[in-house]
Amino acid sequence: MRENLHRFFRAARGVGVHVSPAESIDAMRAVKQVGFSDRAILRDSLLLTLAKSQDEKLALGDCFDLFFSQPEPRQDQPETGDDGTSQEADQQPSSSSASEPGEGQSPQELGPLAQMLLSQDRNAIAAAIASASGTASLSDIRYSTQRGIFSSRILDAMGLQRLRDDLDQLTATNPALAERLRAALDALREAVRDTVSQGLALYAREEAENLRNEILRNAPLARIERRQVAEMRALIRQIARRLRERYSKPRKRQRRGHLDVRRTLRRNAAWGGVPFLTAWKRKHRDRPKIVALCDVSGSVAQVSDFFLLLIHSLHEVVDDVRSFAFSSHLIEVSELLEKNSPEEAMSEIMSKVGFGSSDYGSSLVDFEKDFMSALTPQTTVIVLGDARSNNLDPRADILRRISERSKRLVWLNPEGRLAWGFGDSEMPRYATFCSVVRQCATAQQLERAVSDIVATYQ
């Protein structure tokens, strides 16, 4: 049963429940106290020790129900006559020879699997399937194309080869019993297929989700199909959560610094080197300041939602962030992103300045006129856009002054590099004044770019 619990923890992780080693130990101690006899108490104990939120509780409950539900072999119902009585019961005295393996062959001479199937002992068959599933390492199943492989492994572990030999002998000596055994084997195959399907639902979910996310992470944001938008937004939220978890931890150790061993030993020489007084190395770090300018015009409408989601996460990671959105003119959206959920903020931003015709020159004029004072030598400016200004004056001179007043200027462009400089793209001209220029056509590129920016302040 310990192995079953380990497999259950693995299945729980597959449905999104974070089970740490310490939590798994607590769960096993709880199970040791309550036992396995009462399924309801066992379920409640696992939910109490492992689930940390209502969502995890619901997911873990469904996982428990699926994990501990054992598919039962199908039982062939005896045919009934016109009077409703069982023909098998009527024929039992005359067909007693059919229940025997055949001349010169006793039931004990058949293999264990054949005897089990002929006895129609459901509990024994279910236990044998469960044992064979462990032998076949069903918990390692990852893809639906592996159903046949694991079904064959389980049947082989149960003794399928010996059963085939028994069928060959019975076909020659007792065809009726052979047909009965063949029908039981068909029912066993169906039960094994159900067990493999159950294992696929339990253990392959995490792998399938990881594979789907990996494909989405490398898919161009501008080419995401309508049916994939919701999945991509969920993926961007995961990226934002990872950024928060990685970079928004308390900075107590950073403020305190690292232990200076040499100074500590010198300071405590009078006490024989016992470190009564400690000395710390402190590395001065500038207080992070970020100014983000996000293009939400029609040409980048498909990716602007994802840009805004990442900018929203910056407000939770970095203390001093000012955000702006623009199409033909520029507005500040910092307050909207700080006080509203991502969906509400994005909806309001897009209703104010979204889907318009992009005019980078006019937007830069608005920024210089009203917000240039926000820039300091400690400020990192991030521009997210395709640099297409519809053949209008790009006002690269303003971008140069922004670059001169800030610590660095980073441009994240959703277009491929081959498109830069063609048509109305002003990217080569703008790139002259940028410290970093990166293509961010996929979620993976976007995550790396934002992570690199935030990491410089840690």
* pLDDT score for 456: 66
Q: Torsion angle of alpha carbons 375, 378, 384, 389, nearest 10°? A: 40
Band (84; pLDDT cuts 50, 70, 90): very low
- Residue 420 · residue 427 · CB < 8 Å: yes
Is residue 61 predicted with pLDDT exceeding 60?
yes
DSSP-H helix ranges across 51-86: 54-67
Cβ-in-10-Å burial (0-12, 13-18, 19+) of 405 comes to middle
* pLDDT score for 10: 80
Is residue 405 predicted with pLDDT exceeding 90?
yes
Is residue 249 predicted with pLDDT exceeding 60?
no
- Rounded-to-integer distance, Cα 370 and Cα 384, Å: 20
Band (404; pLDDT cuts 50, 70, 90): very high
Q: What is the DSSP letter of 105?
A: B
Statement: the pTM of the whole predicted model exceeds 0.85: no
Is residue 154 predicted with pLDDT exceeding 70?
yes
Percent of the chain, pLDDT > 90?
Answer: 26
Band (286; pLDDT cuts 50, 70, 90): low
- Note the CATH architecture for domain 225-247+286-455: 3-Layer(aba) Sandwich (3.40)
In tens, the pLDDT along 193-242 reads: 988 888 888 877 767 777 777 888 888 877 777 777 777 777 777 777 77
Per DSSP, the three-state class of 325 is strand
* pLDDT score for 139: 80
Place of tokens 């399924």: 39
Domain boundaries, the chain: 2-69, 108-206, 225-247+286-455, 252-281
Mean pLDDT of the chain: 81
Band (326; pLDDT cuts 50, 70, 90): very high
How many Cβ atoms are within 10 Å of 24's Cβ, its own excluded? 19
